[in-house]
Amino acid sequence: MHVAEPVTDTKLDQLCVNTIRTLSIDAVQQARSGHPGTPMALAPLVYTLWNRVMRFDPQDAIWPNRDRFVLSNGHASMLLWSVLHLTGTRAVNADYERLGQPAVTLGDIRHFRQLDSKAPGHPEYHWVSGVETTSGPLGQGVATSVGMAIGQKWLASRYNRPGFDIFDYHIYAVCGDGCLMEGVASEAASLAGHLGLDNLCWIYDNNHITIEGDTRLAFTEDVAARFLGYGWNVQRVGDANDMDRIEHALEVFRQTKGRPTIIILDSHIGYGSPHKHDTAEAHGEPLGEEEVRLTKRAYGWPEDARFLVPAGVYEHFTAGMGARGAAARRRWTDLFEAYRAQYGALANEIDLMQRRELPANWDSNLPVFPADPKGVAGRDASGKVLNVLAQNIPWFLGGSADLGPSNRTTLTYEGAGDFQAESPGGKNLHFGIREHAMAATVNGLALSKLRAFGATFFIFSDYARPAIRLSAVMELPTIFVFTHDAMGDGEDGPTHQPVEQLASLRAIPGLITLRPGDANEVVEAYRYVMQRRHEPAVLALSRQPLPTLDRNKYAPASGLARGAYILGDAPTGKPEVILIASGSEVSLAVEAHEQLLADGIRSRVVSLPSWDIFEHQTQEYRDSVLPPSVTARVAVEQASTLGWERYVGTSGRVIGMQTFGASAPLKELQKKFGFQPDRVAAAAREQLGR
């Protein structure tokens, strides 16, 4: 428990708090952009958490057993830039090497929200060391923190041994009214309560203000009652300036077992200033020069000083978090060396995981599917691959948003187990019908260095999309397994038939979207994706069986690794017409190709499972697959035609979807919308004027 400190330290505490506040005020004022109110109100909380409580070593921001700090109300990013600067946190590069220079300099803070500054408008994970997750859209940070908490529980279950608590860190997430209004936070809080994640603490800045005004306009629920309903431990601190009470509440969190904790912290926007700011000033705009001077006067601060860090502040952080964090990391490093001597294989796993590398021979026994005209559904091939990967890669795990049996994502091998409060080593995660929280949780697991996947029907990728986008922004190697990728579930009708999802996911920079054409392409898709360290991937897989192509006759499926490849070609001479397809339409294109060859038309068929991968190939390779001189082209895909002109040109033909589909058996839908070999062959003949 907290012991009263000498007066000098109390004064130093307040000096540090006011330094965080004034750096925030000055940075926002200089940028003429940003949110000064929340950093002013929450400076005592963040100071207490960082300098008195958290285990974090500024000299090693990626030490595996550090406590995690998530600023979910990311518009208050100056809080984070201030403490990263004042604690002297050091930078780390993409290869996980410690670089020695500061993560955030005073110069960065002077250039808050400006190009190339390490003090951007919202926390950016791979841009600034010491940031645990990108938290722009409200609610994402707290939802991601649930994945981090699941990750810690799983790591502790697999790797801790008697006398060796290798993983026993806590996750602290600061959030505001906006975060708690967002649905993703509710989904995630419900899941966290069910799983009893007692390593997770949310601190809710209860300030009654949003952009439009007082929360009475739209948010009058009883937050405490709601979280009690979720099964959380609920605490309240009535004064956001009371550092001792904040510290006590955080201590109660660490003593509470079997439940996550939320601390409701009553504050007022612009806390610490005696002047009443209107909502816009306090929340979303600079204070203005006059208000800045009045506020600094109230803090006993030199009114004209800008970006001032008074004598003693850096030293106080060094003596607090710096000394405590360094000692904790040294103890852990010594413990880990002793652990390595006793549990060498497990220590090696941890080393590989931290570098996002894979065990030797991780893909040696992936299935190979024999040629079969009846074939295998994409989801069934995927299920077989997932079960191999989860056995070969100890830290590979995942689950579905209540569709495991339908997505075929359930890990069925002996010992796979279910992740629950009482069995935190299980590899089958059950997210419930919470697609958005699932995707954010998968991000949190990836940030914990686990390899994780989440699954649902492709149509419901829309519910997960904001977190998938953040996965790409953060360059995380997450995997999203989406089945029922077209009209295979025909009778369910337009609400369940994804049309625009492929085009919209292809539009996300850095996201690898893969739509494999048969079972062996599914295998190669996983082989490709698992080797990525900094790119997320979406696999769109069929519900219905797809013919397994004869790879003695057609090109090997390993061509998938280049995004597109020549599957079949005319025996002689250059092609007259090119047929391009992805997923379930590849076999249609192959049949049409055979028809055209029989008619003496030199046809080429190209499987194009990933636009993103193909676009990253050399121009020479792309031209070898799609020769510019061959302008007669037909693309076929059960999805929106948007974007296909880049591959068929302005004169080419695209057989795709212009509507949302219909409710009917698959064969009838294929006939109605033109997804038949005869129709593809006819379109090719039209292209040639025959």
Q: Could you tell me the CATH number of the domain that includes residue 438?
A: 3.40.50.970
Residues 441 and 571 in one domain: no
In a domain, 335, yes or no: no
In a domain, 305, yes or no: yes
pLDDT for position 585: 98
CA distance 433 to 463: 10
pLDDT for position 211: 80
pLDDT for position 360: 97
In a domain, 56, yes or no: yes
Beta-strand pair 90-92/200-206: unpaired
Q: Where would I find the H helices in 99-206?
A: 106-110, 140-159, 177-181, 183-195
Residues 617 and 500 in one domain: no
pLDDT for position 217: 87
Residues 68 and 217 in one domain: yes
Sign of the alpha-carbon dihedral angle for 508, 511, 512, 514 = negative
Q: List, run by run, the mean pLDDT of 10-residue segments along the chain (690 residues).
A: 55 97 96 92 97 97 97 97 98 75 97 97 95 96 98 98 98 97 98 98 90 84 96 97 98 98 87 43 74 94 96 97 98 98 98 97 97 98 98 98 97 98 98 98 98 98 98 98 93 94 98 98 98 97 98 98 98 95 98 97 98 98 98 98 97 96 94 96 96
pLDDT for position 631: 97
Beta-strand pair 209-210/213-214: antiparallel
CB atoms within 10 A of CB 373: 10
pLDDT for position 213: 81
CA distance 54 to 171: 9
Q: Which amino acid is it at 309?
A: V
Q: Is 576 a catalytic residue?
A: no
Residues 542 and 564 in one domain: no
Residue 169: C-alpha distances to residues 9, 126, 153, 252, 268 (Å) = 27, 21, 9, 16, 31
Question: Which candidate, 510, 576, 440, places its Cα nearest to that of 134?
Answer: 440
- Which residue among the candidates 291, 435, 576, 637 is catalytic per the annotation? 435
Q: What is the DSSP letter of 161?
A: B
Q: What is the CATH number of the domain that holds 587?
A: 3.40.50.920
pLDDT for position 280: 34
Q: Where is 175: in which H helix or E strand?
A: strand 171-176
In a domain, 465, yes or no: yes
Residues 541 and 621 in one domain: no
In a domain, 363, yes or no: no
Question: Which candidate, 575, 24, 55, places its Cα nearest to that of 332?
Answer: 55
CB 234 within 8 A of CB 262: yes
Residues 523 and 602 in one domain: no
Question: Which of 547, 582, 606 marks a domain boundary?
Answer: 547
Residues 512 and 567 in one domain: no
pTM of the complete model: 0.96
Residues 670 and 617 in one domain: yes
Residue 232 has phi, psi (to 5 degrees) of -95, 160
For 520, the domain range is 372-547
Tell me how many domains the chain contains.
3
Residues 165 and 261 in one domain: yes
Question: Which of 330, 357, 392 marks a domain boundary?
Answer: 330
Residues 534 and 653 in one domain: no
Question: Which candidate, 248, 273, 276, places its Cα nearest to that of 263?
Answer: 248
In a domain, 355, yes or no: no
Residues 536 and 605 in one domain: no
Residues 46 and 177 in one domain: yes
Q: Where would I find the H helices in 210-272?
A: 223-230, 243-255
In a domain, 349, yes or no: no
Question: Which of 330, 357, 388 marks a domain boundary?
Answer: 330
